[in-house]
Structure 1
Amino acid sequence: MKNGKLSAGLIYLSANNRQRLIHAVLKKLCIAPSDDDYDDLFQEGCLIFADAFARHPDPVKNERQLMNFAFKRIYWRLLDQLRRINKQTATTVLSLDDDQQSADQVERCLTDDTSQHPFARLEHASFMEILWRACTPNQRRYLFACLWLDYRDSEIAEYYHVSRQAVAGWKRGMITKARQIAARDHFD
């Protein structure tokens, strides 16, 4: 791809307030302007737009098609990037299966509101904290692999070297406890 087309894409983006598209993608991804990564992700979105502009067959005549194409391309590329970042952070920062981690360290990561760990950012962090405490060690393993590692049940079974039926049992038990807690404490 030639630099001329990429440059033309950036110039096209900067004209007529088309940068709103990048802001809309970031909003859909729940990235607020106050987030630390907002400016970096905005710049990344601009570069992805330039690439989409260069790849589109006739970007100037079919602006609506270009904007739809670019929106989807930016959204999926940024989402992939965010998932990679979160997965790397989650797996390198803390492992709940690590015997070297003290229960106190794990507890601080799960309950600290200023923590950078994904559990601390969940909308219903207090619910997750109560659920975490109520779960058995195997159910905690399921929660960890599901929420932090973003694994499906078959991947969880492979990760822990157990059968899928065992993972399904962990999941059923965790869901039952979650429903009991929600009914008891009226979490919605």
Structure 2
Amino acid sequence: MNDKISTFAFKHLLQDDNTRLIHGVLKSLGISPTRNDYQDLYQEGCLLYVEAYEHFFTTHSSEDLEVFGPFAFRLIKWRLLDRIRKEVKHQEHCKPLITIHSDDTTEDSGYPDPFASNFEGEILASAFFQELWDKCTLQEQAYLANRVAGVSITKMAKMLGVSRQAIYKWRDGVIRKAKKIVAR
């Protein structure tokens, strides 16, 4: 990046209280100053402000300054949101490893097996799902499989070459059959 533009970007950030934009982004993301990593996210927001400034003014003139604020707000918000999502996903991924490691060190301490605590619920859910699967038509099974995989109804309709209304009918059939199984 251009050092001259970066210098102007840092000066612009610090003049006229433009740091309020970063505080506004953090507030819009629901991040309060009491959060442990607030200052880290604030500093990251400042660096993203400079990046937004550099990116914006390589393609726009200085007369477009009033358009820069909303542009910077969106860019900072999206990038911080991506960072937060990545951290959450990383923490979720590492959580079972931390639990296993802590159980290995305190094996005789009397702590219950964290994986066994939900064993009964998983068996019941599996039995329910298997019974539901067996009662469903092929189309309803396709709906179930795609929804479990996280596919949206719109994308599912495109993939299967049917209308969204057809997918909704399949969903309603699955719901009716599930209610019958639960009612027994």
> Under TM normalisation by the shorter chain, which class is it?
0.5 to 0.7
Root-mean-square deviation (Å): 3.7
2:76 corresponds to which residue?
74
Q: Give the letter aligned to residue 14 of structure 2.
A: S
Q: Give the letter aligned to residue 148 of structure 2.
A: D
Distance in structure 1 (CA, Å) of the matches to 2:39 and 2:116: 32
TM-score by length of 1: 0.54
2:91 corresponds to which residue?
89
Distance in structure 1 (CA, Å) of the matches to 2:115 and 2:3: 49
The yes-or-no answer on 1:136 pairing with 2:121 is yes
Structure with the larger helix share: 2
CA contact (8 A) 1:59 1:66 kept: no
- Unpaired runs of 5+ residues, structure 1, are 109-131, 141-151, 157-167, 177-188
2:2 corresponds to which residue?
2
TM-score by length of 2: 0.55
1:146 corresponds to which residue?
none
- Provide, for residues 64-102 of structure 1, a one-character-per-residue CA deviation record: whole Å limited to 9, x for no partner: 21111111100000000000001001111127xx8x977
State the identity as a percent. Answer: 29
Distance in structure 1 (CA, Å) of the matches to 2:20 and 2:14: 10
Structure of greater Rg: 2
Segments of 4+ in structure 1 off by > 3 A?
100-108
Q: Give the letter aligned to residue 60 of structure 1.
A: S
Give, in angstroms, the shift of residue 58 of structure 1. 3.2
The yes-or-no answer on 1:153 pairing with 2:155 is no
Change (3 A) 1:11 1:72: same
Give, in angstroms, the shift of residue 33 of structure 1. 0.5
2:37 corresponds to which residue?
37
Q: Give the letter aligned to residue 154 of structure 1.
A: A
Give, in angstroms, the shift of residue 59 of structure 1. 5.9
The number of aligned residues is 123
Distance in structure 2 (CA, Å) of the matches to 1:5 and 1:31: 30
Change (3 A) 1:153 1:15: farther
- Unpaired runs of 5+ residues, structure 2, are 104-110, 127-146, 152-170, 180-184
The yes-or-no answer on 1:50 pairing with 2:50 is yes
CA contact (8 A) 1:53 1:59 kept: no
